[in-house]
């Protein structure tokens, strides 16, 4: 992760990043069984409390496999505060991370307003 983004950030589990992961894409390595990182970076509560530039949406669909993934509130609020904060997100069906943004592989659900995740 870009060091400028980790300033004002915390982790989903509230613990410091694992050694060597201070500037990684997440705060710890991937669990081989789940495909998830040990923890993820999120904007601090203070940063998220400043308000959102997008709606808080918790569910998105992977266009490649059709799986809908639900994320935790802190990650959802981080996307709502800073849509470009993340470069990738997780697919619960594929159990892997893929890119987000204009050319990304995920869309918010239509009932939540649709659009590409990360834009």
71 within domain boundaries: yes
Residue 118 lies in a domain: no
Is residue 20 a part of any domain in this protein?
yes
Show pLDDT as tens, one digit a residue, over the chain (119 residues): 667 767 789 999 999 999 999 888 899 999 999 999 999 999 999 999 999 999 999 999 999 999 999 999 999 999 999 999 999 999 999 999 999 999 999 999 999 999 999 99
pTM > 0.85: yes
d(C-alpha 56, C-alpha 81), whole Å: 8
CB 43 within 8 A of CB 37: no
Cα separation of 70 and 112, whole Å? 12
Is residue 82 domain-resident?
A: yes
26, part of any domain:
yes
Q: How many CB atoms lie within 10 A of CB 11?
A: 21
């Amino acid at each position: 992760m870009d060091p400028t983004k980790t300033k004002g950030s915390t982790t989903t589990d509230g613990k410091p990043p694992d050694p060597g992961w201070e500037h990684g894409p997440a705060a710890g390595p991937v669990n081989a069984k789940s495909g998830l990182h040990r923890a993820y970076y999120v904007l601090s509560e203070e940063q998220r409390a400043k308000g959102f530039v997008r709606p808080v949406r918790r569910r998105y669909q992977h266009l490649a496999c059709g799986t809908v993934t639900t994320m935790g509130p802190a990650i959802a609020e981080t996307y709502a505060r800073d849509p470009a904060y993340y470069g990738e997100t997780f697919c619960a069906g594929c159990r892997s991370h893929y890119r987000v943004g204009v050319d990304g592989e995920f869309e918010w659900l239509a009932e939540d307003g649709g659009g590409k995740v990360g834009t």
